[in-house]
Amino acid sequence: MTVEEFINQFYKPGDTIFPDAVQRKVHISKKKAYQELEALSPDMLRRVYMIRCPHCGSYLNDRYKTIRDIPKEAECFGCDTEFPVDLGQNVIVVYKRK
């Protein structure tokens, strides 16, 4: 199964696609999953950024279109903790299905 086939089969418009899920289901490396998703991005996907809580590991609900949109601090409602956002540690790239 290709990445495009996987997305078409399991994701509808508006869904968030995690590269880790693509990696597991299509049996490719994480790097290859990102490469394949980036190649599809103009046609069917939009890159977005998510923040992950460093304390409990939950992903915050907000999605950001650019790195500049990401706040310097965030609050996790899962563990009720405020924390500084570290772009290298707390932010991941995911994709939104168009």
DSSP E strands, 53-97 = 73-76, 81-84, 91-97
pTM for the full predicted model: 0.89
Q: What is the per-residue pLDDT across 35-61, written as a single tens digit (0 to 9) for each?
A: 999 999 788 999 999 999 999 999 999
Q: What is the per-residue pLDDT across 2-48, written as a single tens digit (0 to 9) for each?
A: 999 999 999 999 999 999 999 999 999 999 999 999 999 788 999 99
Closest CA to 11 of 27, 22, 20, 1: 22
The answer to whether the CB of 16 falls within 8 A of the CB of 64 is no
**What was the pLDDT predicted at 79?**
96
